Structure 1
Amino acid sequence: MANGGGSSPASASAFLGVSRSLSGRPWRQRPAEPGVIRAHMQALGLDEPLARALASRGVRADQGQDFLAPTLKALFPDPSSFTDMDAAATAIIDALQAGSSIHVFADYDVDGASSAALLVRWFRQMGAELPIYVPDRITEGYGPSAKAFDTLKASGADLVVTVDCGAAANEAVAHAAAIGLKVVVIDHHMMREQPPACLAVVNPNRPGCNSGQGNLAAAGVVFVLLAALNREARGRGLFEAREQPDIRQWLDLAAMGAICDVTGLTGFNRALTSLGLNVMSSWSNPGLKALLAAAGAEEGPAKVNHAGFILGPRINAGGRIGKSDLGARLLSTDDPAEAAELARELDSLNIARREVEKAVIDQAIRRVEATGAHDDGSAVVVVEGEDWHPGVVGIVAGRLRERWRKPVIVIGVDAVNGVGKGSGRSQPGMNLGKAVQAAWEEGVLLAGGGHAMAAGLTVKADRIGELRDFLNGRMAGEQAAAEALDAVEVDALIEPRAATRALFEQFDALAPFGPGNPEPLFAMEHVQVREPVAMNGGHVRCRLTGPDGASVKAIAWRCADLPTGQALLSGGGGLSVVGRLKADDWNGRRGVQFEIEDVADPRMAQP
């Protein structure tokens, strides 16, 4: 629904007069300082639309070059700026020199697998093999446990390095100390004020850490740890007889963690991701190369799409519904035959995961929308179902968050033991991890934690209603601000004839895209929808035609049953649309496709 152009403050800032689109969001032009726009045009030789897009992403006049061509030299932080980083490097090199048995304990997602593989590859170049322990999602749950540490101790471990987990595992780490097992924690998740009592807890989100690198994924923190390990080893003369590991060769693993954990792609993290995609483009990691082949994708320049939508879901499939260590083994192996076998297994698991995921999504949508819980003004949606697979609840929560534009927690309840395992995804401006941590501290949860945009939890089935009330009460104060943030921010107004490969490639200079650096959004007004087709999965394909008859292929994802999809399927003209330009290289062509994000109909009255 679009505003016809009134004089209210809301409509004055509404782009194309859209104060409420068919998805319920206002449209705005992404704000940018005129002086910064001019500075980027002059210093970098950019056209005004691209300079505006750069300025609107918070890139200052003196930061343009580092943003467009980031380097580690310019942006790499001092490892010592991370609390306990020097202590971690000291403890690990001490253990290496002493010949101690060092094991890595990793989370079961892409970030955990990438983090583990980074450590394994560094140790391999130092002449040592590092065993990997990844807990089973179903039987062990997230993060370290007393039982897991007992198992590691019994296997002969002297030192355990936890990656992408452990920062909130105070009790489990205390147990490790009690049985004589040394622990170093490398993490990025939210944690308590009191860190676990161990040799070192390196976490840029640890209270009091002054690194300023809180947007790093665990793989990014581990990458900095590798620099600290090189520095410590160099200081002890360990590279007099062997070559120092060149950590830059593993930037692809750091990029995998950053992209798949949906971290903010700004500053040093952007450099890791951008340079990591360059390294990935050689497809020299046997696991990534094999997984790309198993997915039926072609080698070529690596993009965020490769990590986030082709490789990442397959690596995650092992931890979701298969063997939890498959991803870490794939990313750390140097054996092409083993990589191919692991890749085939992960690809098969991913197919099964999709089927399980679709069934849970369908059930959850019916359950919530039948009660109106998605549209009752509440801050959070909490939905549960018996025997929903714990491995897919996070993906489902993400899909439902996109659909309802509010935080969603999806819980799979084990009917036998009466315990639910849940995962949540949040909206910008609403700190779900903090709220879940508070629920745990209040005794509502058996376990829980996470970060601002994602969280995991364990809850007794008979307390889910209490959890729903607690989270809604806790997060209600953030709701209004988050809804104000939930606007469609447009970079430029174009016509269908201007939606060209040249325009796509011009704005692709801003890549890689992600949180903190959103993909450019283009608006078109008064377009006609032609040849609309509903596709499997609820997608809508069509052509968008301008007044001059020029057109561009378009697609809108998972919206056929929503107002946006219905408007497209009804065809006709007069619509305004916002979307992204995507490369369309099918069968060797170098074209573009318009990926529709939102639709507004100026003929519909403002409610």
Structure 2
Amino acid sequence: MADGGAGAGGRPAFLGVERSLSGRTWRQRPADASLVRHHMQALGLDEPLARAMASRNVGADEGAHYLKPTLRALFPDPSCFADMDAAATAIVDAVKRDASIHVFADYDVDGAASAALLIRWFRAVGTEASIYVPDRLTEGYGPSARAFDTLKAGGAELVITVDCGAAANEALAHAAAIDLPVVVVDHHLMRAEPPRALAVVNPNRPDCGSGQGALAAAGVVFVLLAALNREGRRQGLFAERAEPDIRRWMDLAALGAICDVTRLSGFNRALTGLGLKVMSDWSNPGLHALLKAAGVEPSEAKVSHAGFILGPRINAGGRIGRSDLGARLLSTDDATEAARLAAELDALNVQRREVEREVTETAIRRVEATGAHADDSPVVVVAGEDWHPGVVGIVAGRLRERWRKPVIVIGIDPVTGVGKGSGRSQPGMNLGRAVQAAWEEGVLLAGGGHAMAAGLTMHRARLNDLVAFLHARLAAERVEALADDVLDIDALIEPGGASRDLFEAFEQLAPFGPGNPEPVFALSGVQAREPMQINGGHIRCRLVAPDGGGLRAVAWRCADLPQGRALLSGQGGLSVVGRLKADDWNGRRGVQFEIEDVADPRMA
């Protein structure tokens, strides 16, 4: 670390940190000075907050809507989505003729929320639609010919796929061949040629001009509900019943957006923020029951509620339990059923955490014994027999955070030798494209995804071939990603100045996520006092400045990493970066510092 050195992108390294203990460069988040002044004057903001807004690319004419977003100002015309009008017409026609409608959903939170949105709209117009969620282990992801045969044999007259289907060209061709009408509502990357269907609504299809590619599937479905209301009015569907007020279901759209880690900008950010306000009423029986099962008291809903309390429990059904539990929970109006489903999901989540812990620990030992995490290779691929396919994605994410390079974790069936894997990537490295290319080259049985995540199926015998292919494919991207592996910082603060007022001022920027990152603060010259390692490899301590000002702090899963060892040593003079969190334990209304990274100025 050299004081005053140039960081990534030619900007000075913040606090001179060119290489932290996690290997990253620190730099101040860039902001246009004239835009900062504009936000200060037009909105009456202090400089740090105005600077944070400018650094998040909030334009001069966007500040008011950013701070107080409304659907009226930001809701897109549904017709700007390719095939949206065709989808709405097909669905309303099916409702009017009392057709048997089936919602085919993915097994994750976004799929469950998307399905529940449609089920609730159908119920509001007097139609009971059915839910079909494929089993992760026996059916895999998305539509299949077998699933469509099952639905056809069961009397389905219209199938609506949500959060899946846009790339299932072969399965959709089979549905067309057996005369099963399908509407696809998705957000995943797809081939240039859309599948055969009545409509394919996807803001990420090449010919869609909506500009709403950041939406999760639940967000796309929410726009579809607006289109359905409009088409319903045109066809007289509400002559004898009230038009559904879709705003009461925004909590489900927010849940999908947060748990699918979508880009929170523009309309998607507004929908998520307003959806959290709806969620705060906890009027959805399933969400309320799940909160209770988790032992959490109802309060103002935050991103953390969706991402760390509700989401993992909903996902547990698809990962290691029954795949339809989440969709059923979010769509039920029966409090008794909601309580039963929530209890089942909470129990499954406990099991999931234990399975995840075992796989994570084994994978870490296996990789670090070989040094594959620390060499110049662009990706880590680790496989093990009987690793549950439902947790490999979570484990890949944990290891990606630990080693700061893309990681693919594969669970192999010891009988068939077939492995199912999931990968998580680093910014600047398109893992999904590389996995797709490996499938096209015949290395994989199936594979694809997007830039930051990918899934695959392969035979154990091709494992070395996959490693070699990915190393060659991603080598150049790794060089660029390393140069840009930085931690952007919003402001330097003192431990004594980390007040609740400062926290609440920056909370005006919420909800946080990709595209609208949570504010990151730096502390300089602090000592970790009274450090204590707790279960899970976490560390609690007090960060104390030379003037005696202190701040309660926590660092997650780092006790065996360089930054964790520095904290546990109790040494002084550290630079620390992290985020302010509310600390309301026993009504104290304080703040806590969640440590992201540590630098030791003595290490050059």
Q: TM-score, normalised by structure 2?
A: 0.98
Structure-2 change in CA distance of 1:277 and 1:370 (3 Å): same
Deviation at 1:449, TM superposition (A): 2.0
Instruction: String of CA shifts for 1:366-423, please: whole Å, max 9, x gaps.
Output: 1111111112212221111111000000100110111111111111001111111111
Give the Cα separation in 1 of the matches to 2:208 and 2:412: 37
Deviation at 1:453, TM superposition (A): 1.5
Give the Cα separation in 2 of the matches to 1:168 and 1:415: 30
Map 1:318-357; keep pairs closer than 5 Å. 318-357=317-356
Q: Secondary structure at the match of 1:572?
A: coil
Structure-2 change in CA distance of 1:237 and 1:12 (3 Å): closer
**8 Å contact kept, 1:3–1:11:** no
Instruction: String of CA shifts for 1:554-592, please: whole Å, max 9, x gaps.
Output: 010000000000000000211000010000111222011
**8 Å contact kept, 1:11–1:17:** no
Instruction: String of CA shifts for 1:154-209, please: whole Å, max 9, x gaps.
Output: 11101110000111111111111111111111111111111111111111111121
Map 1:454-533; keep pairs closer than 5 Å. 454-533=453-532
Mapped pair 1:395 → 2:394: yes
One-letter code aligned to 2:326 = G
Map 1:300-449; keep pairs closer than 5 Å. 300-449=299-448
Map 1:193-208; keep pairs closer than 5 Å. 193-208=192-207
The list of structure 1 runs, each at least 4 consecutive aligned residues, that deviate by more than 3 angstroms after superposition, is: 4-12
Instruction: String of CA shifts for 1:299-344, please: whole Å, max 9, x gaps.
Output: 0100000000000000000000000000000000000000000000
Q: Secondary structure at the match of 2:146?
A: helix
Unmatched tracts of structure 2, length 5 or more: none
Deviation at 1:6, TM superposition (A): 5.2
Structure 2 partner of 1:191 = 190
Structure 2 partner of 1:20 = 19
Q: Secondary structure at the match of 2:328?
A: helix
Give the Cα separation in 2 of the matches to 1:429 and 1:8: 17
One-letter code aligned to 1:185 = V
Q: Secondary structure at the match of 1:573?
A: coil
Give the Cα separation in 2 of the matches to 1:195 and 1:7: 46
Structure-2 change in CA distance of 1:563 and 1:157 (3 Å): same
Mapped pair 1:113 → 2:112: yes
Structure-2 change in CA distance of 1:44 and 1:467 (3 Å): same
Give the Cα separation in 2 of the matches to 1:10 and 1:284: 47
Give the Cα separation in 2 of the matches to 1:125 and 1:231: 15
Structure-2 change in CA distance of 1:7 and 1:76 (3 Å): closer
Give the Cα separation in 2 of the matches to 1:449 and 1:246: 37
Give the Cα separation in 2 of the matches to 1:12 and 1:132: 52
Q: Secondary structure at the match of 1:376?
A: coil
Deviation at 1:473, TM superposition (A): 2.1
Structure-2 change in CA distance of 1:235 and 1:443 (3 Å): same
Give the Cα separation in 2 of the matches to 1:499 and 1:252: 31
Give the Cα separation in 1 of the matches to 2:314 and 2:165: 21
Q: Secondary structure at the match of 1:507?
A: helix
Greater CA drift, 462-471 or 596-605: 462-471
Deviation at 1:233, TM superposition (A): 1.0
Structure 2 partner of 1:171 = 170
Give the Cα separation in 2 of the matches to 1:288 and 1:9: 43
Q: TM-score, normalised by structure 1?
A: 0.98
Structure 1 partner of 2:91 = 92
Map 1:45-84; keep pairs closer than 5 Å. 45-84=44-83
Deviation at 1:364, TM superposition (A): 0.7
Give the Cα separation in 1 of the matches to 2:290 and 2:524: 41
Mapped pair 1:125 → 2:162: no
**8 Å contact kept, 1:5–1:11:** no
Structure-2 change in CA distance of 1:366 and 1:87 (3 Å): same
Structure 1 partner of 2:287 = 288
Give the Cα separation in 2 of the matches to 1:473 and 1:195: 30
Greater CA drift, 274-283 or 153-162: 153-162
Structure-2 change in CA distance of 1:442 and 1:194 (3 Å): farther
One-letter code aligned to 1:153 = K
**8 Å contact kept, 1:407–1:427:** yes
Greater CA drift, 442-451 or 213-222: 442-451
Q: Secondary structure at the match of 1:28?
A: strand
Structure-2 change in CA distance of 1:89 and 1:563 (3 Å): same
Give the Cα separation in 2 of the matches to 1:52 and 1:277: 25
Give the Cα separation in 2 of the matches to 1:438 and 1:244: 47
Q: Secondary structure at the match of 1:36?
A: helix
Map 1:231-250; keep pairs closer than 5 Å. 231-250=230-249
Map 1:243-262; keep pairs closer than 5 Å. 243-262=242-261
Give the Cα separation in 2 of the matches to 1:11 and 1:178: 57
One-letter code aligned to 2:51 = R
- CA-atom RMSD, angstroms? 1.3
Deviation at 1:474, TM superposition (A): 2.1
Structure-2 change in CA distance of 1:319 and 1:12 (3 Å): closer
Mapped pair 1:211 → 2:210: yes
Map 1:146-161; keep pairs closer than 5 Å. 146-161=145-160
Give the Cα separation in 1 of the matches to 2:263 and 2:50: 21
Deviation at 1:4, TM superposition (A): 3.4
Deviation at 1:7, TM superposition (A): 7.6
**8 Å contact kept, 1:304–1:513:** yes
Deviation at 1:10, TM superposition (A): 8.1
Instruction: String of CA shifts for 1:121-179, please: whole Å, max 9, x gaps.
Output: 00000101110000111111111111111111111101110000111111111111111
Deviation at 1:29, TM superposition (A): 0.4
Structure 2 partner of 1:546 = 545
Give the Cα separation in 2 of the matches to 1:116 and 1:428: 30
Deviation at 1:535, TM superposition (A): 0.8
Q: Secondary structure at the match of 2:211?
A: coil
Give the Cα separation in 1 of the matches to 2:122 and 2:394: 33
Structure-2 change in CA distance of 1:494 and 1:102 (3 Å): same
**8 Å contact kept, 1:11–1:18:** no
Structure 2 partner of 1:263 = 262
Structure-2 change in CA distance of 1:532 and 1:60 (3 Å): same
Give the Cα separation in 2 of the matches to 1:549 and 1:296: 37
Give the Cα separation in 2 of the matches to 1:466 and 1:80: 46
One-letter code aligned to 2:576 = V
Give the Cα separation in 1 of the matches to 2:317 and 2:62: 40
Give the Cα separation in 1 of the matches to 2:461 and 2:208: 38
**8 Å contact kept, 1:574–1:602:** yes
Structure-2 change in CA distance of 1:10 and 1:164 (3 Å): closer
Structure 2 partner of 1:599 = 598
Instruction: String of CA shifts for 1:487-514, please: whole Å, max 9, x gaps.
Output: 1111000110011111110101101000
Q: Secondary structure at the match of 1:226?
A: helix
Unmatched tracts of structure 1, length 5 or more: none
Instruction: String of CA shifts for 1:209-265, please: whole Å, max 9, x gaps.
Output: 111111111001101111111111111111122111111110000000000000000
Instruction: String of CA shifts for 1:43-98, please: whole Å, max 9, x gaps.
Output: 11100000000000111111111111111111111111111111111111121112
Instruction: String of CA shifts for 1:260-302, please: whole Å, max 9, x gaps.
Output: 0000000110011000000000000000000000000110100
Greater CA drift, 268-277 or 86-95: 86-95
One-letter code aligned to 1:167 = A
Greater CA drift, 515-524 or 457-466: 457-466
Structure-2 change in CA distance of 1:574 and 1:297 (3 Å): same
Instruction: String of CA shifts for 1:1-33, please: whole Å, max 9, x gaps.
Output: x32345899896100000000000010000000
Give the Cα separation in 1 of the matches to 2:177 and 2:133: 22
**8 Å contact kept, 2:105–2:133:** yes
One-letter code aligned to 2:415 = V
Give the Cα separation in 2 of the matches to 1:69 and 1:486: 33
Greater CA drift, 213-222 or 94-103: 94-103
